[in-house]
Structure 1
Amino acid sequence: MLGALGWIPLLFEPLADWYIPPIQPQARLRPENRPWQNIITGVYGHPPLLKIHDRTGDVKWSFRREDVHQDLPSELQRCLYGGANDATDMKYMRGGESVAAIYSDLVIVVNHTPDDPIRDKKITWATCRDNEFLWNAHSVEPLPNDLLAVSTTGQRPWDGILVYNISLDNALENNPPVVQNITGLRAIHGMIWDEQGQMLWATGTDAAADGTDPIPAHGTIIGYPFDAATGELRKDDRYIYRLPNAYTIETEWGKGYPWWAGPHDLVPVPNQRKFLISEDRGLHAFDIETGEFFAEYEDVQEMYMKGFEVTTADRHGINHTGHFEELPQSDLKSFNLAPDGSFIYVQSLWTKFRGFHTSLVVNGARRKINLGDEIYRSRWFADIDGWPKPK
C-alpha cells in the first residue's frame, strides 16, 4: 500500500515502465488472416465460371470446363460440355480443399488445391442434371460421412432432396446412385448443415410455388436430423416452420402472375442459433431455439445488415390488392454474414433472374465487385463461426 503521498515518486518513473501495449487481436482475426476474406462466385456464361477472389475482386483461383484434363465417363463429359450456362450454387467443403457446385449440366465436386497442381481442379464426383429430377437444381450442401445433399427444386409432391455418396474412394460413374430421396418440400433454394444441431436445414415452399396447386404456397424451413448410426437424414422426425403469410409476386411480375413468393437463400448468423432467409419480397429472421420468426424486412436489415442498399431504384409496383408498394430487399439471390459485421449480397435486377455485380458492405459502406458478371450467388469461401461444414 502506498502512503498518502507515496504516489508522487511514481510520476518520475520512466514512461516505459508505465506503457501497456494495446491488446492484439488473435492471429486469425487480423485482417490479413480472416478466413472470410475470400469469396466464391459463380458467373453465368458459355462456358460458366467459378472463381475465388478477395474483397477487391482479385481472382485467386478459377474453374472452367477447359480446366478439366481427366478422362470422364461419357455422360459426364457430355454434360460438362452441355448447353447450360449455369453456375447456380457453390459451397466450401473439406476445409477448403473441395468445392461443391451446380455447374453447366452437372452437379460436381472439384478439388481446390492450388498448391498441388496435380490434384487441383480435378473432378472427384459428378452427376448429370439434364433429366426431369435435377434440371432445375438450385442448392447443394455437404453432409457428414462424405455425403452431398442436392435439391431438386421442382414443384411436384415428389420433389425435394437427393443425397449422394461422394467419397473419394468412389470412381466416377455416369449415374451415381442416390442413397436417400427426401420428398415433400418444393422449390428448395437453400440448404445449410447445422453442426451443433446435427441436422440439415432446407428452405422452400410447402406447395407448388408456380401456382399449379389449388392452395397458396408458404415459404417454409425444414430441419432434418442426421442419424449418425444409419448415416441418413430422418424425414419422420423433421422440424417444420412456415412463414405466416403467403404472397403472390405480382408487384414485380405483373397482374395475374401465378407464382407465390418463395425463399432464395438460407443464411446462418455467425455464432448464433439464428437464420436469415431471403425471399422474393424481402428478409426474414428465424430463431432456432424458440422455433419462431422474430423479425422481417427493415427490422432484419437494422439488426444484421446495416449498410444494405437497394441495387436499383425500380423495385416497386402494384400488388395484388391494387396498391403501390416498394420492395427494396426483394430478390436477394444470395447473401452471407461475417463475424466482423461485414456482409455480401447479390440482388437480381427487377424482373430478371440474376444480378451483374456483388455488393460488399464493410463498416456500413457498400461497394461493388465483380462488375459486369452475370451472377446468381456469391458466398464466403470459409467456415462461418458457429456453422462449420462437416469435415
Structure 2
Amino acid sequence: MLSSFLGWIPLLFEPLSDWNIPPIQPQARLRPENRPWQTIIHGVYGHPPEIKIHDRSGEVSWTFRREDVTQDLPAGLKRCLYASANDATEIKYMRNGSSVAAVYSDLALVINHTPGDPANDKKITWAVCRDNEFLWNAHTLEPLPNDLIAVGTTGQRPWDGILVYNASIENPLMDDSPILQNITGLRAIHAMIWDEQAQMLWATGTDAAADGSDPVPAHGTIQGYPFDATTGKLSVDERYIYKLPNTYDIDTEWGKGYSWWAGPHDLVPVPNQRKFLLSEDRGLHAFDIEKGEFYAEYDDVVNEFMQGFEVTTNDRHGYNRTGQYEELPQSDLKSFNLAPDGSFIYVQSLWTKFRGFHISLVTHGKRRMISLGDEIYRARWFGDIDGWPKPK
C-alpha cells in the first residue's frame, strides 16, 4: 500500500509541459463572438427607410438602403422600391445569414447579405409590390422550406390571410410574382414563425376584424399550418387554432369610443422549449405548444421569461371602455426576442404611437438602450434561435 501511495512522487519530476494540457475549447458557434444572439437586425423608418445589422453595443456592421440597389429591376418593382412609403416593418434572418427577408418601402423582398462578396451583396433576389388591395398593409413574412416564402396580408377581411410565393434565387425578378397558395381566414396577421420540429408555420392575428368592422369582438389567435414537404403546400387544420379566452378594447390607450380590439403584435419562440410568447396591445401571454393552451399572462410571463423588463415610458395608463382605470406597462411590444443565455431585446412603441425610438437590451437582468434615435418597429436577433432554426 505504501508503494502505491508513493508511486505518484516521480511524476513531480516529469517535464511540466507534459501536464500543461490546454482546456477543451468550445465549439466555434458557442464562443461568445459567434453566438447568433450577439448580433441584432432592425429596420429604421424614414426617407429612405434603412435596415441595420449591429452588435449589442449598437456598432453597425451592415446597412441596406434602396440607394444601394444597382441592379436592373422590372419597372413595377423599381417603382415600389422608390415609393414614398417609409416602411421598414419586418426584418428576418434567412439562408444561414446570407439573406435578409424584409417588408421594406412598398415591397416584400429578399436581399443578399454577403458582405464578404461585395459584387453580390445587397442584391434583391425576390420581391413583390405591396401597392395593391391584398398586400398594402402587410406586416410580416417568413421563409419556408423549398425556397418558399409566406407573406401575411395583415388585413381585416374574411379573405385576408397568408400568400405563399417561390423565392428561389434561380428565378428572375418579375413585377407579378406568382401566388402559389392563398390561405384565408386569419385576420390582421402581425407575426409568423417556422417550426422545424413540427414542420409547421405558425401565425398570429385575430379571428374577426381587429378594427371593429365585424359585429363580433376579435380574439387574439395563434394558428398553425402543417407543411407537406411533398406538395410544398400549407394546410388549414382546426386542431391548431388557439384563441385567447378574452377580448379587450384598447380605449385605455386610444381614447373612449375607439373601435379596435386588442390584437397580437409578435409571436416569439422560447429557446430550446416548445413554447411561444405572444405580445398584444395590452401585454404578454405564454403558450404551451404541446399542451395546446395559454397558461400565463402579463407579470407571470415577465417573471418566468423576461426578468429585467422595464416599461419604457411612464404614461401607459388610462380608462377602458367600462370606465375602469388600468396600468398597462407591457403594452405595445411591437417586437421582442429571447436568447438562451437569458438576455432579450424588445421594442415598445411610444404610448398612442406606432413605433419606438430605441431598442431595449436586457442582460443579467439589467436594461440598457441601444440604437437611440432610430424610429423602430421591429428588432430581432440575426441568427437561428436554439431549437427554432429557419429552413436551410
Please indicate the TM-score interval, normalised by the length of the shorter structure. Answer: over 0.9
Using the alignment, how far apart are the partners of 1:48 and 1:173 within structure 2?
A: 23
* 2:242 corresponds to: 241
Match of 1:300?
Answer: 301
Q: Which residue of 2 aligns with 1:103?
A: 104
Q: Distance in 2 between matches of 1:198 and 1:237?
A: 16
1:299 and 1:19 map into 2 onto residues whose CA distance is 49
1:98-247 to 2 correspondence within 5 Å? 98-236=99-237, 239-247=240-248
Answer yes or no: is the 8 Å Cα contact 2:226–2:237 preserved in 1.
Answer: no
- Please give the residue correspondences for 1:221-370 in structure 2 after superposition, counting only pairs within 5 Å: 221-236=222-237, 239-370=240-371
Matched residue pairs, number? 389
Distance of aligned partners of 1:335 and 1:7 in 2 relative to their CA distance in 1, 3 Å threshold: farther
Q: Kindly tell me: are residues 238 and 136 of structure 1, through their superposed partners in 2, closer, same or farther at Cα, counting changes over 3 Å? A: farther
Unaligned runs of 5+ residues in structure 2 are none
Residue 227 of structure 1 aligns with an amino acid whose one-letter code is D
Structure 1 residue 341: Cα displacement: 0.8
The answer to whether the Cα contact below 8 Å between 1:225 and 1:238 also exists between their aligned partners in 2 is: no
Q: Matched residue of 1:346: which SS?
A: strand
238-247 vs 376-385, which deviates more? 238-247
Q: State the one-letter code of the partner of 1:295.
A: A
Contact 1:91–1:100 (8 Å) recurs in 2 = yes
Question: What amino acid does structure 1 have at the position aligned with 2:195?
Answer: D
Which runs of 4 or more aligned residues in structure 1 lie more than 3 Å from their structure 2 counterparts after TM superposition? 5-10, 16-27
Contact 1:74-1:174 at 8 Å conserved across structures: yes
Is the contact made by 1:315 and 1:328 (CA closer than 8 Å) also made in structure 2?
yes
Tell me how far 1:28 sits from its aligned partner. 2.4
| Distance of 2:290 and 2:237 partners within structure 1 | 20
Cα gap change, 1:115/1:9 in structure 2, threshold over 3 Å: closer, same or farther? closer
Q: TM-score, normalization: structure 1? A: 0.95
Cα distance change, pair 20–72 in 1 and its aligned pair in 2 (3 A): closer
- Does the Cα contact within 8 Å between 2:85 and 2:105 map onto a contact in 1? yes
Mean Cα deviation higher: 281-290 or 27-36: 27-36
Amino acid of the structure 1 residue aligned with 2:140: S
Residue of structure 2 equivalent to 1:34: 35
Match of 1:69 in 2: 70
CA distance in 1, matches of 2:58, 2:85: 25
Matches within 5 A, 1:46-65: 46-65=47-66
- How far, CA to CA, are the matches of 1:19 and 1:246 in structure 2? 65
Secondary structure at the counterpart of residue 229 of structure 1: coil
Q: How does the TM-score come out when normalised to structure 2? A: 0.95
In the TM superposition, what is the alpha-carbon distance from 1:34 to its structure 2 partner? 1.2
8 Å contact kept, 1:224–1:237: no
**Maintained 8 Å contact 1:137/1:151:** yes
Q: For the Cα contact (< 8 Å) 2:224–2:237, is it kept in 1?
A: no
Cα displacement string for residues 330-385 of structure 1 (whole angstroms, at most 9, x for unaligned residues) = 00000000111110000000000000000000111111011000000000000011
CA distance in 2, matches of 1:96, 1:312: 34
Q: Deviations over 1:14-71 (max 9, x none)?
A: 9x89999877544322222212111110000000000101101111000000000000
For the aligned residue pairs, the C-alpha RMSD in angstroms reads 2.0
Instruction: Indicate how the Cα distance of structure 1 residues 19 and 301 shifts in structure 2: closer, same or farther if over 3 A, else same.
Output: farther
- CA spacing shift, 1:165–1:237, aligned 2, 3 Å: farther
State how far apart, in whole Å, the 2-side matches of 1:55 and 1:221 are: 30
Change (3 A) 1:73 1:320: same
Q: For the structure 1 residues 153 and 7, does the alpha-carbon distance in structure 2 shift closer, same or farther, using more than 3 Å as the test?
A: farther
Q: Distance in 2 between matches of 1:70 and 1:24?
A: 44
Q: C-alpha distance in 2, partners of 1:298/1:13?
A: 59
Gaps of 5+ in 1: none
Which secondary structure state, in structure 2, belongs to the residue aligned with residue 178 of structure 1? coil
Report if aligned partners of 1:108, 1:125 keep a CA contact under 8 Å in 2. Answer: yes
Counterparts of 1:246 and 1:13, CA distance in 2: 74
Letter in 2 for 1:196: Q
| Counterpart in the other structure of 1:384 | 385
Q: Using a 3 Å threshold, how does the CA distance of structure 1 residues 300 and 6 change in structure 2: closer, same or farther?
A: same
Please say if residues 48 and 85 of structure 1, whose CA atoms lie closer than 8 Å, have aligned partners that are also in contact.
yes
> 2:180 aligns to what SS in structure 1?
strand
Q: CA separation in 1, counterparts of 2:289 and 2:354?
A: 30
**1:143-171 deviations in Å (ceiling 9; x for gaps):** 00110000000000000000000111111
For the residue of structure 2 that corresponds to 1:182, the secondary structure is strand
Measured in 2, the distance between the counterparts of 1:202 and 1:377 equals 17
Q: In 1, Cα distance between the equivalents of 2:22 and 2:200? A: 44
Deviations for 1:251-289, whole angstroms, at most 9, x for unmatched residues? Answer: 111111110000000000000000000000000000000
AA of the residue aligned to 2:34: N
Asked if structure 1 preserves the Cα contact closer than 8 Å seen for 2:271 and 2:386, the reply is yes
Indicate the percent of aligned positions where both proteins have the same amino acid. Answer: 77
Q: Is the 8 A contact 2:143 2:391 kept in 1?
A: yes
**For the structure 1 residues 237 and 317, does the alpha-carbon distance in structure 2 shift closer, same or farther, using more than 3 Å as the test?**
closer
